[in-house]
Structures are given as structure tokens and as C-alpha cells.
Chains A and B, each alone.
Chain A
Amino acid sequence: MPVITYREALNQALREEMARDDRVFLMGEEVGVYNGAYKVSKGLLEEFGEMRVVDTPITELGFAGVGVGAAMVGLRPIVEFMTWNFALLAIDQIVNAAAKMLYMSGGQYPMPMVFRGPNGAALQLSAQHSQAFESWLAHIPGLKVVVPGTPYDAKGLLKSAIRDDNPVIMLEGEMLYNTKGEVPEEDYLVPIGKADLKREGSDCSIITSGKMVLVAMNAADKLAQDGIHIDVVDLRTVRPMDVEAITASVKKTNRAVVLEEGWEIAGIGAQVVDYIQRDCFDHLDAPVIRVHQADTPMPYAKGLERAAKPDLGKTIAAVRKVMYLD
């Protein structure tokens, strides 16, 4: 199986789906001539032309609204945000228009569209450009939110998202675009709402998604050297969440660490912990511990940024704590 980057996997998904269905089109800042701010849309303008690959002005609210309108009249738009930090400007279209259109129109207007772009912190992009919005978006009924952590899942989930008749939010990661993994050449889908057990272990579950999957896998490698075997549950979709996968893992290991990129308060991890306490109460041998970003705007200073982010060391410490080792 070919090993390609996350970026290439997304590019393949876009190309395959645009070729498969001519209602699918891509728009956003720099997606055409510049081949995408992160080169995800490389070669698409050339292949599909400017009717299908549309460069927009720096007007997030405007082009998100154009996307909603296009979806209302039967197209299947993919709206790319240069980063999700900029999508705050478009939040009214996402939350008030896209998420609710099917509901408020009594089923007359499906919203077969995708909002996608990099999410969360890269390196030293400071407070305004380092935010993880999973919980903001997952909070909204009417949206689906997918958070692929590997090239395989990125391609499979983007293809599912494009084919879905509901608005799907896809949260990628600048730091993920260059990561590599095996991706099949043939057409495949990763179902929305299905978690993936990325690694099997009996001692403790780490439940995570997106960029943090890599952190969890590294932590599992390190902990294995101490004889601690981790079940790594990659949620892949945070709305709807795969509760069965979470509870199956926790019932097996009796201990859980929930790892997320964003802030603690009302974070995705809080929802995961709620499912665990509700469905796994009698299986818990320790309180569930969450690992997340510090409750502060992301600092610019390198050392402070490192201290604020969830990372390998914090994850290992959390696992050792729920294992009663420290």
C-alpha cells in the first residue's frame, strides 16, 4: 500500500470526489491559483477549472454563505478555511444557516456541504491562531464533526463528508499535513461516527482524536516499555461520538485518560467522561483524568507554549496516575 502524506491523502479525496460527482466544488482563500495555503488543493484548478475550484476574497462570512446557498440549490460545496481561527468570522453561516437549514425548512433544504481546514495549534502562532474548536462545533445539533488523525482516516473521512447530505465540519491540522501513512489506492470510505481502536492494550484506555492520536500512540509506545499496555481509541468523529467504542474499551481496561487538544472547560473530553461515568461506572477502578490545553490563551513564547499544550509527558503522567503508579 502506498505511503503518502496527510496532505496528499486529502488531495486525493478531493480529486476523486470531484471527478466522481460534478456537483462537488471547492472554494476558499488561495485554493486555486496558489494551490492552497497548505497545498491541499494542489493541481485541482488545473484539472477541474475555475468553475469547480473557486478562489475567494478574504471574506469568510461571505463565501461560507455562498456555500450554504449553493448547497440549497443542489450543489455540494467544500468550503476551505485557511485555518479554523478565521472561520470564527463565518460562524453565523455555519451555526445559524448550515446547521439549521434542513430543520428550519421542514426538510426542504438538505445541506450537503463540507467546511474544512486546519484546526488547533501549530508552532508559535500565538493566541489568535492556535485554537482548537472541536467542542465549539460539536456543540451544535445539525453539524457533524470529523477529526482525522492519520492520512488513511483523512482521505476516508473527507470522502464520506463530501458524500454526506448534512453539513460536515472537518478539522485538520497544520502539523498533520506532513505526517505519512498507508493509504489505499482504491476507493474507500471511513464511516462518520465510527471510532477506531488504533492500538490494543489491557491496562488503560486513552481516548483521543485528531492531532492528539499521534501523542497517544507515542505515549503508548513509551508506556509499553514499562509493561503498561494502552488501548488507544481514536474517536475520528466527535459528533456523533462512538459511545460504544469508548465504553467497550473502558470496560476492558477499567481506567481511562481522555486526551484532547483544546481547553478543559466544556471540552470534548468532558463529554467523553460523561459517557464513561454513565455507562462504565461499575467498571472504573480510578477517576478518569483529562489531558488538555492549559486554561489560557496560547502563549507565543516557545517555553510557555510547550507548557500550555497537552503533550507526551502529560499524557504519560496521567496514565501513571490512573494506574496508581504515581
Chain B
Amino acid sequence: MATKVFMEALSPTMEEGRLVKWLKNEGDAVKTGDLLAEVETDKAVMELSARGDGILRKRIVGEGVTAPVGALVAVIATKDEDIAALVAGAGAPAVAAAAPPATAATPAPAAAASSAAAPARAAPVPQGTPTPATTAGGGRVRTSPLARRLAGEQGLDLGAVQGSGPAGRIIKRDIEAAIAGGGARAATGAAPVPRRAVSGNAFDDVALTQIRKTIAKRLAESIGPIPTFYLTAEFNLDRAAEMRTAAAELGPEFKVSFNDIVLKATATALQQHPEVNAHWLGDRIRHFNTVHLGMAVATDDGLIVPVIFNAEQKRMSEISAEAKVLAKKARERKLKPEEFTGSTFSVSNLGMMQIDQFTAIINPPECAILAIGAIEDKVIVAPDGSFGVSKRLRVTMSCDHRVIDGAVGATFLQTLRRLIENPLLLVF
């Protein structure tokens, strides 16, 4: 899939940029993060980097030329891909400039990541929400100052409280009713201790704290509708490989792929981290206590993400079998809609295509996706200074920063590392 390179807003106030110098020639191979060009903004000369892998097929904007933010300046694609239409469409850069941030952000996707599928729920619109006390213009919640303060103290989401005062104003009694009625919603968050406490619900809605709201708003403004950041970790797969070999020796019914091991470990880790196994619902966050694991499958039509439901309850052999069936059905276009909707977290694997690592695109309203790279033998320096060959796997988790902060994502990856590097834990 081709990656369009746009003139990006490299400073907060930048509206156009002068391409000072190309750092890659047409025909050069480029990888995500490679520097493509130097661009002079209103403030300084900055670097424009690639947001996809492939060949720099076409440089559309020449050196010394000024282009508005959002204008197409180059195309990265595979060697044989037909990019004529893309290049032709670049004729009128002013169009792209009309809505710079959106245009600049959306089309820059990385390699074949998941999420193109799931048409049934493209928009992350909150469903089944109690009518929030917002004005028609959206946004502003009417409250008395007291109600606002009480809600803040209780960690209550005012957007989810029905106001009984004039024009839907939320007043003290509404807050009291909300606390009495939905006690679970109040006062979450603070103490990390009860995180594992099982509520018995299929999911728990978590009220948005002020800081969470601010993070959501500011970061979305920063990077696009989903403010994504990426965490990459390299796992040691030596023990997983041993286990896989040992299992296979027990008989064909125990044969599992590395991917199956990763799926199982991911499901297990997610069960321990509902804060990652979550949906962003606009006015609140839904933490799922069960794992519906989406797995991206490439088909001739494009990408689709069938779902292994209740994956945390399934044994590795079950996951392995189900993954096989789902992938097959996907390729044969036999998936039913209910088989590719409802995932709480997704995994995308391009390891079999010799991709070392990549960044996948989040499938909203999910809040994260795990991109699995290729397994490689590498020389690793052990803590004692000795060298050895080790099987390594690079995973990159794309996280929706509105929901997942860096440390939260990293904690999840620590759990995942522990499970994958000690696969015996998956048995317990």
C-alpha cells in the first residue's frame, strides 16, 4: 500500500513550508522514521520523516518550492505499485491545504496495519449513553458550581449525569442520585490496589476524570482524532521456542505457531490489564473484563479483523484452532459480521512477511493494537557480558493516549514480556 508523504505542520503555527533539500532520491528504499527532506518552516529548518516503508517512488515538490501544509510532496510505495493516480491527484495542493491538520494526519498510515475492516462500527460514538446534559452545540455541561465540585471530588463524569434543574442544569441532588445509583462509577482510579478485583460485570464504565478529559482533548488536537503513540519492545522467544518444540513432540494436536503463543499471552495479559483492554466512548472509557481478541487478516479485498471471543478463557490449543478457522474464513470471505465485530483489542502480525517491526493503526473504539514483527536470531549480550544467540521478537503497541498513558502501556508490555518469555506461566 502506498504511503503519501504530506507537507506536515512541523511547528505549531506553520501553514506552509519550503522544501529546502531532498535527502532521498527517487528509487531509494525508505523506512518509517527515515529523514526524507529538510523543510523550512516559519520558525526553523526542520526534518520531514517517512511515515511508511517502501521505495521513495516520486518526489512531487521540487527543492526550493513552497507547499502548504497538507500538500502531497512525495509518494512512498512498493517497487511495482501503480501510483499514477496518486501523483496525478497532487495537482492542486491548495485543496489539501484547506484542512491541514486532518489531511496531514489521516493519510499517513504505516504499513498494512489492521483496522481497515469492521465497517459496522467505524465511528467511535458512545452507545447507550444516558443523554448528557449538554447544550445543542455539544460540549458544555450545565451544572451548579457545587455540583461541579462534588462531581470532581467523587471522580464523577458530569457528562453522564442527567440534570434535573432548569435547562438540564446538574445540581447537588443529581450528583447525590448518581452516587447512590451508580456507586461503582464513582471514586475509581485513585488506588491501584483493587485493580484486579473482578466486578462480575461484562465491563465496567470508568468516568473520565478532568485530567483524563484534558489529556484526551489536548492529545487529539495534537495528532489527529486518535492521538497515538507507540511502544516497542523486543522479547526473548527462546523458551517459547523450546515449549513449542516440546509440545509438537507430544503429537500433532499440540502443534502451535508462535503467533498462537503470542495470542494466548496477549489474551492472558489483557485480562490482567483491563485499562488496556478498553474502548474509548467519547465521554467515558469502558474497561472490558473479558477479552475479545481481534486478529488482523490480510485478504484479497483488504484487511479484516475477525475476533476470538472470550480469548482469556481459552486454552492455547483452542485459540490456535480458532485462529486457523477464522483466517481461513476471512480469506474465503465467509466471515459473518458478528465474527468480525466486538473486539476489545487487536493484534496484527506481519512477521511472516519479514517485517522486523511496524506500527499498526488502532481500530476504534479500541484503544490499542499490537503489531508483531518477524522472529529473528540475534546475538545478544547477556548481563554477565557473555554473548549468545537468542530468538527475538519485536512488538509495537499503538496506544490511544486518551485512554492509555505511556506507563500504562509499558506496564502491559511488561506483563506480556513476562508471559512470553516464561510461557509456562500460560499454563497456570
Contact = CB atoms under 8 A, between A and B. Distances in A.
Interface of A: 254, 281-286, 324
A201 B173 CA distance: 17
A274 to B, nearest CB: 15
Contacts of A283: 145-146, 149
B145 A324 contact: no
B145 to A, nearest CB: 5
A285 B146 contact: yes
B58 to A, nearest CB: 59
A286 B165 contact: yes
A254 B172 CA distance: 9
Contacts of B146: 254, 282-285
Given A254-B146, A286-B165, A324-B173, 6 more contacts: A282-B145, A282-B149, A283-B145, A284-B145, A285-B144, A285-B172
Contacts, number: 28
Nearest to B175: A285
17 contacts: A254-B144, A254-B172, A281-B145, A282-B149, A283-B145, A283-B146, A283-B149, A284-B145, A285-B144, A285-B145, A285-B146, A285-B147, A285-B171, A285-B172, A286-B165, A324-B164, A324-B165
A5 B92 CA distance: 92
Contacts of A284: 144-146
Contacts of B164: 324
Interface of B: 144-149, 164-166, 171-173
A282 B144 CA distance: 8
A257 to B, nearest CB: 15
A282 B146 CA distance: 5
B147 to A, nearest CB: 6
A185 B321 CA distance: 98
A154 B87 CA distance: 92
A286 B149 contact: no
Nearest to A284: B145
Nearest to B147: A285
Contacts of B166: 324
Contacts of B144: 254, 284-286
Contacts of A281: 145
A282 B151 CA distance: 11
A281 B146 CA distance: 8
Main secondary structure of the interface of A (DSSP, over half): loop
Would you list the 5 A-B pairs with minimal beta carbon distance, nearest first?
Answer: A285-B146, A285-B172, A282-B149, A285-B144, A284-B145
Nearest to A283: B146
B165 to A, nearest CB: 5
A297 B144 CA distance: 35
B176 to A, nearest CB: 11
A324 B171 contact: yes
A286 B171 CA distance: 8
A286 B148 CA distance: 12
Nearest to A277: B145
A225 B146 CA distance: 26
Contacts of A282: 145-146, 148-149
Nearest to A282: B149
Nearest to A321: B166
Contacts of B172: 254, 285
A5 B172 CA distance: 43
Nearest to A254: B146
A244 B345 CA distance: 55
A252 to B, nearest CB: 12
Nearest to B171: A285
A87 B339 CA distance: 89
Contacts of A285: 144-147, 171-172
Nearest to A324: B165
A324 B146 CA distance: 14
A25 B215 CA distance: 72
A178 to B, nearest CB: 41
Nearest to B166: A324
Contacts of A286: 144, 165, 171
A311 to B, nearest CB: 24
A324 B176 CA distance: 15
A163 B165 CA distance: 50
A202 to B, nearest CB: 12
B92 to A, nearest CB: 53
A300 B315 CA distance: 92
A267 to B, nearest CB: 23
A83 B171 CA distance: 45
A318 to B, nearest CB: 15
A285 B173 CA distance: 9
A276 to B, nearest CB: 11
A285 B149 CA distance: 10
Contacts of A254: 144, 146, 172
